[in-house]
Structure 1
């Protein structure tokens, strides 16, 4: 499991995304802004995990 320091909050989905999945209204703008940081953090963890490939697992 990966713990990511940033979070993504999504309010009522019908007031956040339209039928095509595009952000709408204020909630959509907030989601768009906060998702970029979340995605960057997740990408960092994925890269770090990839660098661990082949290493011995910690003893815990």
Structure 2
């Protein structure tokens, strides 16, 4: 799963961090394994870009 910040500066990077947290928690509640493959963080707690791997039976069908 790839999440990239759009226009909006720091607000956009913080939103990416919120989305990352949301998808990670959702995947873990469904019993999937998550792994951050690549992350380009900012200094303010957000991410310009983040790539996570979600593994588990039916992960794709839950996230498509």
User: Structure 2-normalised TM-score?
Assistant: 0.35
**Larger RCO of the pair (alpha carbons < 8 Å, separation 6+):** 2
User: Structure 1-normalised TM-score?
Assistant: 0.37
Q: Which has the higher helix share?
A: 1
